[in-house]
Structure 1
Amino acid sequence: MASRQIDRRSFLQVAGGAGIAGLAGCLSGDVEAVSIGIPGDSSTTGQSTQALQSVVQSESESIRFDAEDSGGDPASIRLYNNGEIDGYSASNFISTNALNDVEPFHEDPVDGIAYQGFQIGVLELHWLALDGSGIETTDDLLDDDITVWMLPPGWGLRQLSNTVHESIGIRDELETNEIDADTGDIAGRVDEGDVDALISYGANGVNLPGWATEVDAREDLYAVEATEEFREGAADAEGVDTGTVEAYGYDQDLDADEVFTWRETFQFFFSEDMSADVAYEVAEISHEHWEDARDAQEAYPDHSELDTMTSAYMEDQPIHPGVADFLEDQGAWDDSWTRGE
């Protein structure tokens, strides 16, 4: 079995050179610093985590909640397993893959995932084409002269998309004409004419991630029509939810009232070593001050509704005992859930 360890130098490279604000679980006087891995500053979950970080900083006298760029939720899960971070935001899809040693964990598995915390959002992925590309349907994505961007390779959303397109039977063909670019570079690559079509997504029916907003501002875009074969193949992908949604978040008309989407739910996950008091207070702050978090990220969920916080729980996976205590005190605990030790 390949080594599961990620050394300090590797972590800093994965995190794009971002320094660690504090050691995992570090105590400074009466303040406990907790580090939370995020996919990146321009991602929706990253921005939502930073929004909660700001509110915790404002409302708590005992917690320092630090968002740390890991480069993707698979990397966050590895860093958690290596004891580098105290929690992370991740999709249920990639968490299930980690539990089952499925790609991207098939060659280098991890010991497990952190305790479930609470839901942070639902992302809805779809294909867009650039004006002048000549693309009409998803069949056209496979033309030899079409260049595509399918999200950063390190992201769980990329793995989700890989699974969808593998189920359809076109993953290898798409990757033949793919460009490799981070979210911070994709708007520039689009500007330079290097991209004909890309995968984008909206969050919680509200808005786009920062990088997609920048692409939207720079270029004329339109929705790619999903063929029946594409829809059926995507729906057959194990563990993937598909459907259609109204196009939202864009400042331009996508020439379609609806887009075909594959969806994924994200949660916060907290280490079993995080104290129950800290997890309790973070959940309580998100519940009571979600509107303040929404001031920073419009798509931050309405956590005044406890069902919104708990609707993404995976069956048979433990919930952090501090979050469980909070839900019990709110009268929102369900005995079918599993409480962490």
Structure 2
Amino acid sequence: MRNHTNTNANRRKFLKAAGSTGLLMGVAGCLGDQSDEAPANGNGDDDGDSDSGSDAAPEAGDTELVMTTSTSGSASFAAGQGIAAIINEYSDSLFLDVQTSDGSGENIGKLDRDEADMGYACDWNMVEFDEGEIDLTYTPYQVFHWFHIAWPLVTHHEWESAAEITSDSRVSPAPAGATGTRRPLEIALEHEIGGEYEDVSFGYADQGAAMSEGRLDVGVTPYINFDMEPGYVQELKSTVDLNMLEWTDETASALEEDDRVTTVEFDASWIDGYRFRPENPLVTMTNCKMFVRDDYPYDPIYNFLSTLWDNREELADYHAQLEPYTDDEHWVAFPWAQEIPFHPAAADFYEEVGLWEDDFIRGEEA
């Protein structure tokens, strides 16, 4: 949290980000080379610099809240700018500065170094935190749900089950470095076939060419918030005949019992263009939240959430990733399996608007 005493007459001058077409510029998910984003064209700007993307500045007396997202070509950064537009237009006490990063792993570190106040992290980050693999000087406190992605495996072969993958099959569970997506799929493949396959790495937009040239047997496709299909997935389906793979019942049961992996029965009935597609396959998923440190003050978080809530109907005008916030349940969707508390201001806010559940955990006030 940063208090400012300078003035700036150009405050709150924002341009709306591209609307729903902005989704095709980047996929929000634990993807890419240390990044949580996979640009729809497979390239994108992954410089990871701390760029706010705006010349706006806080007014005297404002509390500045720095939000760290992902790379500058990503959907998360664009969506964050949309949230900043709302906060900086309607709040009389907050100024939101949205900055780029390399994704959730860097976001966690930035909060640890007090370089940011809020950022997003994903369920795999919380697995690592819960198992002591990440050493932090703070406890993450949830604020609101950011996004979720379904990750079905796909192949150009006429296979219908992941059990048909063989030891010489070339499988790209996700690009190298995309730990939050890759590790759950690797765990699932360990349950299914003992992890016996040839591990390769392709960018999401490169999978079509790799399959058509015989360099890739199994890849993966993301479905953002379960109802958005990136353009490069549509291109993949037009390049090769594509099957969406199912896990066997035995593997599905094992995954549902494995606390390291988040799974969901994915309603795929709306998706066309596949040669074979199950109606409701069990898939691994990425589940990401905006979070703060446990010592972050109460009032800025409460004011942040109340301002967003009161103006949530406008969020979709800024980016497609923000459209689900018109559905009240999206704000607290898919709670992390790990016992990660909500910030006390968020807990009080959600209780007031009727979204608090008995099994949610309220954090201690700083």
Instruction: State TM-score, norm by structure 1.
Output: 0.73
Match of 1:206 in 2: 227
Is 2:138–2:293's contact at 8 Å kept on the other side of the alignment? Answer: no
Is 1:318 matched up with 2:348? no
User: Structure 1 residues 189, 275: CA separation in 2 closer, same or farther (over 3 Å shift)?
Assistant: farther
Is 1:19 matched up with 2:56? no
Is 1:339 matched up with 2:339? no
Is 1:78 matched up with 2:109? yes
The number of residues matched between the two structures is 312
Is 1:114 matched up with 2:140? yes
User: Structure 1 residues 213, 321: CA separation in 2 closer, same or farther (over 3 Å shift)?
Assistant: farther
Distance (Å, rounded) in 1 between the aligned partners of 2:185 and 2:50: 30
Give aligned-pair identity as a percent. Answer: 18
Is 2:244–2:278's contact at 8 Å kept on the other side of the alignment? Answer: no
Is 1:148–1:198's contact at 8 Å kept on the other side of the alignment? Answer: yes
Residues 139-181 of structure 1: CA deviation (Å, up to 9, x unaligned) = 232241x32211233331222223333344533x23xx22224
Distance (Å, rounded) in 2 between the aligned partners of 1:163 and 1:109: 23
User: Structure 1 residues 317, 139: CA separation in 2 closer, same or farther (over 3 Å shift)?
Assistant: closer
Match of 2:267 in 1: 246
Distance (Å, rounded) in 2 between the aligned partners of 1:206 and 1:233: 26
Distance (Å, rounded) in 2 between the aligned partners of 1:46 and 1:155: 20
Distance (Å, rounded) in 2 between the aligned partners of 1:184 and 1:340: 44
Is 1:294 matched up with 2:320? no
Residues 73-95 of structure 1: CA deviation (Å, up to 9, x unaligned) = 23432333233332222223431
Is 1:266 matched up with 2:266? no
Is 1:118–1:312's contact at 8 Å kept on the other side of the alignment? Answer: no
Residues 159-216 of structure 1: CA deviation (Å, up to 9, x unaligned) = 2223333344533x23xx2222444655665576532221223233311356545545
Is 1:124–1:263's contact at 8 Å kept on the other side of the alignment? Answer: yes
Is 2:150–2:284's contact at 8 Å kept on the other side of the alignment? Answer: yes
SS at match of 1:89: strand
Residues 97-123 of structure 1: CA deviation (Å, up to 9, x unaligned) = 31222xxx3xx6334542110122332
User: Structure 1 residues 253, 110: CA separation in 2 closer, same or farther (over 3 Å shift)?
Assistant: same
Is 1:149 matched up with 2:149? no
Deviation at 1:226, TM superposition (A): 2.8
What code does the residue aligned with 2:345 have?
A: G
Give the stretch that moved more between structures: 194-203 or 322-331: 322-331
Match of 1:279 in 2: 301
Distance (Å, rounded) in 2 between the aligned partners of 1:40 and 1:159: 25
SS at match of 1:206: coil
SS at match of 1:85: coil
Distance (Å, rounded) in 1 between the aligned partners of 2:298 and 2:232: 35
User: Structure 1 residues 237, 186: CA separation in 2 closer, same or farther (over 3 Å shift)?
Assistant: same
Please, what is the CA RMSD of the aligned residues?
3.6
Is 2:124–2:260's contact at 8 Å kept on the other side of the alignment? Answer: yes
Deviation at 1:51, TM superposition (A): 4.3
Distance (Å, rounded) in 2 between the aligned partners of 1:295 and 1:166: 42
Match of 1:68 in 2: 100
Residues 221-260 of structure 1 aligned to structure 2 (within 5 Å):
221-247=242-268, 250=271, 252-258=273-279, 259-260=281-282
Match of 1:10 in 2: none
2:350 to 321, 327, 331: 327
Match of 2:129 in 1: 98
Is 2:69–2:100's contact at 8 Å kept on the other side of the alignment? Answer: yes
Deviation at 1:241, TM superposition (A): 4.3
SS at match of 2:152: strand
Is 1:195 matched up with 2:219? no
User: Structure 1 residues 100, 42: CA separation in 2 closer, same or farther (over 3 Å shift)?
Assistant: same
Is 2:138–2:294's contact at 8 Å kept on the other side of the alignment? Answer: no
Distance (Å, rounded) in 2 between the aligned partners of 1:140 and 1:39: 36
Give the stretch that moved more between structures: 48-57 or 263-272: 48-57
Distance (Å, rounded) in 2 between the aligned partners of 1:310 and 1:251: 30
1:37 to 45, 65, 69: 69
Is 2:65–2:95's contact at 8 Å kept on the other side of the alignment? Answer: yes
Residues 266-285 of structure 1: CA deviation (Å, up to 9, x unaligned) = 21112346543432233224
Unaligned runs of 5+ in 1: 1-12
Instruction: State TM-score, norm by structure 2.
Output: 0.69
